[in-house]
Amino acid sequence: MREVRNKTSNKEPKFTKVGLMAGNFTTTEKDIMNIVLKDGKEYTIPEAKKAIEEFKKGF
């Protein structure tokens, strides 16, 4: 029997830049998000953390 999975249950929630900045990040991380994340685009938490880390590697 073939297993059927609900595709929406595997997706992580996405947040706007403002939504992420209201979350549980440090002040420095919020400042970095304000620089690197685009207004109007939605990101998962891992995507936001990756953008922060990539920004930090540039310094």
Per-residue pLDDT at 4: 52
pLDDT of residue 1: 57
Secondary structure (DSSP) of the chain: ------GGGGSPP-EEHHHHHTSS--HHHHHHHHHHSPTT-EE-HHHHHHHHHHHHHT-
Residue 59: band (very low, low, confident or very high) from pLDDT cuts 50, 70, 90: confident
Give the model's pLDDT for residue 7: 52
Instruction: Give this prediction's pTM.
Output: 0.77
The string of pLDDT tens digits covering residues 1-41 is 555 555 555 689 999 999 999 999 999 999 999 999 999 99
What are the residue ranges spanned by the domains of the chain? 12-57
